């Protein structure tokens, strides 16, 4: 076998090489072990499982939750050019991602499906890319473990079906890593380097934190050029650096700076736990807790040291790179972390967590799988290695099955979101079927609460109210010829004061053409168990055209409404 001009020899499950190894060896199975022939199939089985879990989560159609709703409402009345302005609800997202979302909505309408479609595409692509990457770097046994970890990890599955850019972060990082590895392994084939020049800046534009990976790739490839004395690669590498730095700087100036300055104070407070403390002793503790927390929650884990085992596997993998003098791979794995730490020290991007560190998930899963394989190879008896490997893969399958079962049993992130969506489906279908329905805020432009209208109400109205699905409507309230009742929906959060003067003026205007037949208020709980109380109020006023009121049964409309 030959790659990157470096020869490697296969002896059982071991490979040796003169400089950079093509495949990191993990001697788990003997050459004649039956499992040796099953490893490729097992790896593809985890690929299918990973894609199935992501598609399954998407098809379960979870209700939109807080962060998704905050971002989604920005797509209701904005077009491509409007995305240069700061987003509402303290949201930050890359411009290309926003344009992809708008395009999806234009093609398929505003719905949970269209809002999450790009995340699903990115997530499925990531499974295939990660499998390709693992096969290029790891032995078959380690590939199975790494792909298994990546396939069943909860957070990449969850973000595959969310209207947030985290799945894009993961995919963008993988594209950069795969292109860098392909050129590292085949330096004479410069098409991979030129592909990185062309595609790298696009990935940085698509994902803000992918700049850490892009920077890490730059340092890694510069190391490759220096150690190999391949000076002809300097030109494309220089162009790559100029391109990704230029694109990132341009977007930072055009879009990101406005988004960040508009949300800076809130985000610095919200992200406070992701910034390193100045005290050296506290810094050491902070680093341990960050890496043993949600940042390494693959395949499972939690904050407060809940991912200690995954971190241990990660460190075993990094230690193996050091022992085998795999400096290029070690730099590729650790340089992005170093750049991310610098950004957090400058208070520009938080370090750690799961959502905001999805860009690092590929490298974390790669090293966790590799480290687990190394640890298994330390067992002296082949039967123990085989049993431990089978146990590890079985546990990964159980984790995947449990994730799917949990999603099917509880197809929601918060039960209040599930209940709210169920109410909304009933509310709009019932009232639209019985009368002409208008929203006082979105259809009539009347704001009695000075902008304090729930983003969940507005988004769900666009999705589940048939007359509102096309967006802005032209209404003529003077047209009362059909005699249909008019139901005006007013929404507010309980506890928010209404401008009574403006409301009474609107009611006086309405009653010049209509008679008020009745009203009804529905209250929906919107807060989770550990959140401040929040109740959404849907108040419906039913009006009858005066020309038809005399012939209607007194009180019938009010009774129907109640």
Cα gap 1→463, rounded to integer Å: 56
pLDDT higher than 80, residue 25: no
More confident residue, 477 or 226: 226
More confident residue, 553 or 43: 43
Task: Select, from the ranges 51-55, 324-328, 355-359, 543-547, the one with the highest average predicted confidence (pLDDT).
Answer: 51-55
* Model pLDDT, residue 15: 38
* Model pLDDT, residue 18: 33
Q: Are strands 6-11 and 535-545 parallel, antiparallel or unpaired?
A: unpaired
pLDDT higher than 90, residue 46: yes
Residue 428 backbone phi and psi in degrees, to 5? -70, -40
Q: Are 88 and 73 in contact (CB under 8 A)?
A: yes
pLDDT higher than 90, residue 90: no
As a whole-number percent, the residues of the chain with pLDDT over 70 amount to 89
pLDDT higher than 90, residue 387: yes
* Model pLDDT, residue 4: 34
Residue 519: which of 486, 536, 542 has the closest Cα?
542
Cα gap 350→343, rounded to integer Å: 8
* Model pLDDT, residue 465: 92
As a whole-number percent, the residues of the chain with pLDDT over 90 amount to 64
Least confident of 131-140, 259-268, 326-335, 376-385: 259-268
Q: Are strands 2-3 and 6-11 parallel, antiparallel or unpaired?
A: antiparallel
For residue range 467-510, list pLDDT tens digits in order.
888 877 777 776 665 667 889 999 999 888 889 999 999 999 99
pLDDT higher than 60, residue 131: yes
Question: pLDDT category, 259, cuts 50, 70, 90?
Answer: low
Q: Give the Cα-Cα-Cα angle 404, 409, 412 (nearest 5 degrees).
A: 90
pLDDT higher than 90, residue 125: yes
For residue range 306-351, list pLDDT tens digits in order.
999 999 999 999 999 999 999 999 999 999 999 999 999 998 899 9
* Model pLDDT, residue 481: 56
Kindly report the length of the chain.
Answer: 562
pLDDT higher than 50, residue 379: yes
* Model pLDDT, residue 479: 65
pLDDT higher than 50, residue 5: no
Two tokens, residue 308: 């200690």
Mean pLDDT of 225-231: 89
Cα gap 249→475, rounded to integer Å: 45
The string of DSSP codes covering 352-392 is SSSGGGGGGHHHHHHHHHHHHHHHHHT-SSHHHHHHHHHHH
* Model pLDDT, residue 484: 75
Q: Which residues of 165-178 are buried (b: 16+ CB within 10 A; e: fewer)?
A: bbbbbbbbbbbbbb
* Model pLDDT, residue 548: 58
Least confident of 46-50, 106-110, 479-483: 479-483
């Amino acid at each position: 076998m030959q790659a990157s001009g470096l020869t490697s020899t296969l002896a059982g499950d071991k490979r040796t090489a003169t400089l950079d190894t093509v495949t990191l060896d993990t001697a788990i199975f003997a050459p004649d072990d039956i499992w040796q022939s099953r490893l490729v199939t097992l790896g593809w089985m985890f690929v299918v499982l990973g894609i199935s879990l992501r598609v399954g989560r998407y098809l379960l159609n979870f209700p939109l939750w807080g962060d998704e709703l905050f971002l989604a409402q920005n797509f209701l009345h904005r077009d491509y050019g409007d995305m240069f302005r700061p987003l509402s609800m303290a949201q930050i997202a890359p411009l290309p991602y926003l344009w992809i979302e708008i395009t999806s909505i234009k093609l398929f309408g505003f719905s949970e499906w269209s809002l999450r479609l790009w995340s699903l595409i990115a997530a499925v692509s990531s499974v295939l890319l990660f499998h390709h990457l693992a096969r290029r770097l790891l032995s078959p046994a380690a590939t199975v473990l790494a792909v298994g970890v990546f396939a069943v990890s909860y957070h990449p599955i969850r973000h595959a079906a969310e209207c947030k850019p985290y799945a894009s972060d993961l995919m963008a990082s993988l594209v950069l890593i795969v292109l860098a590895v392909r050129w590292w392994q085949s330096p004479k084939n410069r098409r991979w380097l030129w592909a990185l020049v062309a595609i790298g800046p696009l990935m940085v534009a698509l994902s803000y934190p992918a700049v850490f990976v892009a920077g890490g790739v730059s340092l890694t490839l510069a190391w490759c050029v220096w150690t190999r004395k391949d000076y002809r690669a300097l030109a494309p590498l220089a162009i790559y650096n100029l391109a990704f730095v230029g694109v990132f700087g341009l977007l930072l100036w055009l879009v990101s700076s406005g988004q960040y300055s508009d949300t800076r104070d809130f985000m610095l407070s919200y992200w406070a736990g992701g910034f390193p403390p100045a005290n050296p002793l506290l810094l050491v503790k902070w680093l341990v807790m960050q890496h043993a927390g949600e940042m390494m929650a693959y395949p499972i884990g939690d904050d407060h040291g809940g991912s200690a085992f995954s971190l241990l596997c990660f460190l075993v993998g990094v230690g193996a790179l050091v022992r085998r003098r795999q400096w290029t791979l070690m730099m590729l794995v650790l340089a992005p972390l170093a750049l991310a730490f610098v950004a957090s020290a400058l208070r520009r991007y938080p370090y750690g967590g799961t959502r905001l560190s999805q860009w690092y998930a590929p490298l974390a899963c790669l090293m966790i799988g590799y480290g687990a394989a190394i640890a298994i190879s330390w067992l002296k008896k082949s039967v123990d290695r085989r049993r431990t490997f089978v146990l590890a893969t079985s546990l990964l399958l159980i984790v995947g099955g449990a994730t799917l079962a949990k999603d099917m049993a509880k197809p929601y992130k918060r039960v209040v979101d599930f209940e709210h969506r169920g109410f909304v489906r009933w509310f709009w279908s019932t009232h639209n079927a019985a009368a002409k329905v208008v929203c006082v805020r979105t259809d009539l432009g009347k704001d009695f609460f000075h902008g304090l209208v729930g983003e969940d109400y507005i988004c769900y109205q666009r999705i589940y109210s048939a007359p509102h699905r096309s967006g802005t409507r032209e209404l003529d309230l003077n047209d009362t010829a059909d005699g249909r009742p008019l139901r005006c929906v007013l929404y507010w959060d309980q506890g928010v004061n209404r401008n009574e003067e403006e409301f009474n003026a609107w009611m006086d205007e309405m009653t010049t053409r209509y008679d008020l037949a009745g009203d009804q208020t529905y209250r929906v709980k919107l807060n989770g168990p550990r959140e401040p109380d929040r109740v959404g109020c849907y108040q419906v006023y039913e009006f009858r055209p005066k020309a038809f009121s005399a012939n209607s049964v007194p009180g019938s409309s009010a009774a129907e409404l109640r």
